[in-house]
Amino acid sequence: MRAHVMTTIRQFELLQGYLGKAASGHSPLGIPRSVHDPAMLMRGNPEHPEHDALGMRNREVPDQAELIVIGDSHVYGATVRADQCWPFRLQAESGVPVYNAGVGGWGSVQYALALEELLYLSPRRVIVGLHTGNDIAEAFQCARASTSPLAKSFWNPSWAGLPLADLTAKKRAERAVARLMAERPDLTQAEILAELGQRGEPDVNPCTIEASRFYLSEHFRHAVQDLSHPAIAAGLMITRKVLGHLRDLSLNYGFTLGVMLIPTREYLVATRLDEAEVRDRHSLERLAVAEATLLSELRSACADLDLPCFDLSGYLRHFVGGRIYSQDSRSAHPNAKGCELIARFVRDRVLPGLDVTQQMRAAVGGVYPMY
């Protein structure tokens, strides 16, 4: 019986890995969404039917890009159809042609590498979506492992011996889900998560807020944002250098650049903790401090570089209870409704802010922050 259970667990782990890659790595058709790349570590697969010749999630590569949006799985649209991701919705609602340059698993270093490659599209505007959930940790990983000279220019050799962030809680939660599914194949995913939540499994933290019900992963989120960890602190330093490089590109190539900060679902709940029912309030409070600090540091970095910065936190916190994330799930990516709200934020606040910045630059030769 134990051998059968362990085999089933392994089968589920493989399936879970496959399903996870469906969001950022593989499609149900078996065609990888991403492929290994020594410079990027991973890049979008041009062979995927939803991708263009550059491996990005667009119908085709334009001759010239009016607006490029660069980011990770939150820009790509990990849990929604191609026509539901927020860059696509932004184009539909604003009438502005949008080129989606998001790839799941990317961090700030890949954003710089990608923009260098996309300069030949002569963009007029560029939005970089910085996700506080893991972009800083990914920046450390890419700068350390990439073969790109640009990526290496962000790296300090003295960081080589630094330990990586502790992802024990994330891995434990994934294994707990796999084990219970193997033991109880009659249970639905929602029932499995409910059972683990009742057991007190870390990073399967049941949360109810307004009409929303989902499961939080605050230990994992804290691990990749805690600036007291040396690798995360180094990742922030790398990201500051990346932002400086992006700013220089915008000045040299004549496009307007804006940075949009995308918070975690866990942080949004933490900002409204008095209204939420959660099992582990202490861990969420600890996460709130860490993420608020990181957001502040990123806003400060943009201000120091005179980069327009748009923080989604204050906007999305009002909607976190409105079913903008998958229900009865641990997935922390916005669903179709969430993507539509983000598209409206960009249409109503970010694009006008970039236009004002462009006008100021044309008038006085400077760039000014728009908060």
Overall average pLDDT of the 22-51 stretch = 83
- Please report which confidence band the pLDDT of residue 361 belongs to, taking 50, 70 and 90 as the band edges: low
The DSSP line for 166-192 is: --HHHHHHHHHHHHHHHH-TTS-HHHH
- Please report which confidence band the pLDDT of residue 359 belongs to, taking 50, 70 and 90 as the band edges: low
pLDDT > 50? residue 306 = yes
pLDDT at position 279? 94
**Is 185 a member of any domain?**
yes
φ/ψ of residue 229, rounded to 5: -80, 130
- Please report which confidence band the pLDDT of residue 184 belongs to, taking 50, 70 and 90 as the band edges: very high
pLDDT > 90? residue 358 = no
pLDDT at position 27? 54
Instruction: Give 219-252 pLDDT, tens digit per residue.
Output: 999 999 999 999 999 999 999 999 999 999 999 9
Overall average pLDDT of the 99-123 stretch = 98
Tokens matching residue 354: 């970039």
**Is 371 a member of any domain?**
no
Q: Cα separations (Å) of 150 from 69, 115, 155?
A: 20, 12, 9
CA 230 and chain centroid, separation: 21
**Is 369 a member of any domain?**
no
Spell 170-196 as b/e; 16+ CB within 10 A means b: bebbbebbbbbbbeeeeeeeeebbbbb
97 CB burial (10 A radius; 0-12, 13-18, 19+): middle
Chain mean pLDDT for the chain: 90
**Is 244 a member of any domain?**
yes
Domains contained in the chain, number: 1
pLDDT at position 357? 67
The beta strand positions in 221-342, using DSSP E, are 256-262, 277-278, 309-311
Overall average pLDDT of the 196-225 stretch = 96
Q: At what angle do helices 86-94 and 336-345 cross, to 10 degrees?
A: 50
pLDDT > 80? residue 298 = yes
**Is 355 a member of any domain?**
yes
Q: Which residue type occupies 294?
A: L
**Is 370 a member of any domain?**
no
- Please report which confidence band the pLDDT of residue 63 belongs to, taking 50, 70 and 90 as the band edges: very high
φ/ψ of residue 97, rounded to 5: -60, 125
Contact call for residues 57 and 100 (beta carbons, < 8 A): yes
Spatial separation of the C-alpha atoms in residues 99 and 97, rounded to whole Å = 7
Residue 318, domain extent: 2-364
pLDDT at position 355? 85
- Please report which confidence band the pLDDT of residue 277 belongs to, taking 50, 70 and 90 as the band edges: very high
**Is 221 a member of any domain?**
yes
**Is 293 a member of any domain?**
yes
Overall average pLDDT of the 92-117 stretch = 97
Overall average pLDDT of the 175-201 stretch = 95
pLDDT > 60? residue 15 = no
pLDDT > 50? residue 7 = no
pTM recorded for the entire structure? 0.89
φ/ψ of residue 345, rounded to 5: -60, -45
The CATH code of the domain that includes 97 is: 3.40.50.1110
β-strand 67-71 against 125-131: which pairing, if any?
A: parallel
